[in-house]
Structure 1
Amino acid sequence: MGSLDGLVAVVTGGGRGIGREHALLFAAEGAKVVVNDLGGGGDGTGATAGPAQEVADEIVKNGGQAVASPHNVADEAGAQGIVDTAVEAFGKLDILVNNAGVLRDNVLVNVTPEDWDVVVAVSLRGTYLVTRAAAKHWRERSKAGDQPTASVINTTSESGLFANPAQANYAAAKSGVSTFTQVIAKELKRYGVRANAIAPRARTRLTEVIGGKVVEQIQPKEGKFDAWHPANVAPFVAYLASPGCPLTGESFVVGGGRVHRVRPWQLDDNWQLKTDGRWSVDELTKAVDELGPPERVKGLGE
């Protein structure tokens, strides 16, 4: 018996890296899997059905059930096609993992509008489109008396949570994903849906090479636990997807043997200015000088 027996899962970006590990583990835990991957490059260019089909074939070879989906998450018809593939192949959808993402890193003054649009289209728009299509499916089931026990797991990033330089486009998209996750957790609760986000720490084609150089710090070391292997992320995602998981509306940094909750936006009671009426600029200048700048809270990656 697996933790996901009888459930149907979609994994976007499931043809390589972290998404591939999600898909393989989900299948090993008993889920029927739609492996979605456009098959493009890490910068969002190109397309091939090969990666998604290869993972689906591997799952079937190992005794599981899977189908491939080459649909584009950033396209409205493509997003609907992903959900339709799950329903047509397996009769329903229970789990959605929004994992697809691309990078086009550069400092702000060199980020072109195309670089911005492509990254935001895949990471943020794609997450919205596929989740909306899935939410419509769950709403219809709920209204028909078949109340789902469903789960959405979105992929944010420490770049979006803690602001990495030279990733304005990616960070903005991933920060949006985390907030989007909180919103849908509240909205979709009525349909039996939970939603959480993970910021994965793993070695993938998007993270192991920076500026044309291999990042040695995240390469495996002989005889030591490979803390950066993408398979380390999948078990917590499978837990979040399992029907017995109570967590919703949360974001977590996940990698190696570590799962760390990230606090959502909140007011800082240690840094606030109050007056009985309207502030003047001179009064604010004096008040801020007396209070001092806010204390910087370092991100988990710093």
Structure 2
Amino acid sequence: MDMKPIALLVTHDYYPSRPDRAEPDYAHNQLVLLREAFEPSGVSIEPVFWQDDGTDWSRFSAVLPLLAWNYPQATETFLKRLDEIEASSARLLNDGEVIRANMDKGYLAELARRGAPVPPTLAVEGCNPEVILASFDTLNANEIIIKPRIGAGAWRQARLKRGEPVPSADVLPPAAALIQPFLPAVTEEGELSLLYFGGRFSHALIKRPKAGDYRTQGQHGAVETGIDAPEGALEAAEAVLAKADGTPLTYARVDLVRGADGQWLLMELELIEPWLYLTLDRQDGKHGAKLFAQAVLERL
């Protein structure tokens, strides 16, 4: 029996790449690698513009939201789509429950409560200056990062030192936010990403911000390098995954940074639309994509 195609959610913002964008066509590149990985099993991957109405989700065996990169700016539409997909015969991967919980970075505070290695984290309902200034003492920090609870790619994120003026509202998170101490290791060593497919470790990379910046995304000039997982990192990632709901997850990216004591701490557990860094896999560049396809097919 032929298996129905798999839908890969894409957005008009990034697919196909707009001519005014300087970065490579990331979305198309990831689609090509995934298509190649699924080809031997006879399963095709179809890009579907998730913000467009009227998709018959039952045409697909599964739906992967991997390239729905603008959902933080359109969360109501995204939630509506999740409901539609779940009401169809298609499997949403990761599961809808996992995706809804992962949309709000308040999950970090929940994972910390369960004993996962997470930096001290304050969840706040809004970013007024009083709340921000009080957080320096609450966190016992001289420098903080303020992040939207629903966001991606360092959107509306701010870094602030004690004594500096609070940024204007238009650069701060628009609503609920997380406040954490700034970890110097981000700029000194970078952020470590570990990719897991079907609960199995696939590959690791380090993302180093450009000089004078702290943001670890390639679109902000960070340099990404495939590496062997450093000592203690797999144990830390697996301690996080053991506390997460919905395991074994079809895919997960665990982003870690070293704390002051050298221990690996969770910056983010990406379970919706992580960039998979498939070309940085040190084994052969195709290994991660094959492992990803295997994890999806096992779920189906």
TM-score (norm 1): 0.33
Report the TM-score when normalising by structure 2: 0.33
The structure richer in helix per residue is 1
Q: Which has the higher strand share?
A: 2
